Amino acid sequence: MKLITSPAKLMQIDYTTNILKSTEPNFIKEAAFLQKYLKEETPLFLSELMDISPKLADENWHRNQNWNPNPSKNESCQAIFAFRGEVYRGLDAQSLDKSSINYLQKHYRILSGLYGLLKPSDSIMLYRLEMGRKYHFSTYKDLYGFWREKVTAQLNSEFSSKDILLNLASNEYFKVLDKKNINATIIDFDFYELKSGTPKTVVVYTKHARGLVVKYCAETNAKTLNDVKAFNYEGYRIDEEKSTSQKLVFVR
């Protein structure tokens, strides 16, 4: 079983731990190739590409100029601790013990616009490059074209026979996978909040719940889909009527 999430825009690199030995991302050469082009882009270009303020564009321009494939410990952080968005608040990796972290190292992967696919232990630098942005570089019209075959092949190499892939990523990021050629059964998720008896989707809660599912699987050593169906953190319960063989629906 593999679990997969999106990265987060908010990052920090000030956390260190001895629980997990740092590793180099599988696609560090590809990330360096991308950065070769990103280093040439102006702050104005970055602002328009990612629809961000001039201040954020300047910040990310400096990040691009300082990026290197072999960062020092002071310049980098393991991926599972580097991201700080709502998914990662739900995951709360800093609260997990060694056995839970080891579970995630084996079963959990993070999609990335710059790094392609990350293991929890992979050392990464601060960056911003959303997968869905239409960035034209080299012979590629976007990041999907650059990453799809590479990331799909890497995931396939990690699957065992009759494996399952728990899709806890956003549509923007999961689109990078060639779903027709994934050698696993893909399980999607929906999370609803009951408001006056009516189930509602609340984006921030959905993001948080995705992280909670990752945390739950790690803490309970989930191995089967039935194990995942028992997810019950922060009041969520499975809705058997709404769930299907390809989607799990949780309500609270």
Tens of pLDDT, residue by residue over 133-153, are 999 999 999 999 999 999 999
Q: What's the mean pLDDT in 11-27? A: 93
- What count of Cα atoms within 13 Å lies in the side-chain half-sphere of residue 18? 0
Average pLDDT of the chain is 96
Q: Sorting pLDDT into bands at 50, 70 and 90, what band is 16?
A: confident
3-state SS string for 185-241:
EEEEEEEEEEECCEEECCHHHHHHHHHHHHHHHHHHCCCCHHHHHCCCHHHCEECCC
- What count of Cα atoms within 13 Å lies in the side-chain half-sphere of residue 27? 25
Find the domain containing 109 and state its range.
Answer: 2-251
Q: Model confidence over 167-226: pLDDT tens digits?
A: 999 999 999 999 999 999 999 999 999 988 889 999 999 999 999 999 999 999 999 999
E strand or H helix that includes residue 247: strand 247-251
> Looking at this protein, which amino acid is placed at residue 211?
G
Say if residue 56's pLDDT is above 90.
yes
- Of all residues in the chain, the percent with pLDDT exceeding 70 is 100
Q: How far apart are CA 3 and CA 5, in angstroms?
A: 7
Question: In this predicted structure, what is the pLDDT of residue 18?
Answer: 86
Domains in the chain, number = 1
Say if residue 238's pLDDT is above 90.
yes
Q: Model confidence over 181-196: pLDDT tens digits?
A: 999 999 999 999 998 8
- Predicted TM-score (pTM) of the model is 0.96
Among 14-18, 53-57, 236-240, which is the least confidently predicted range? Answer: 14-18
E strand or H helix that includes residue 170: none
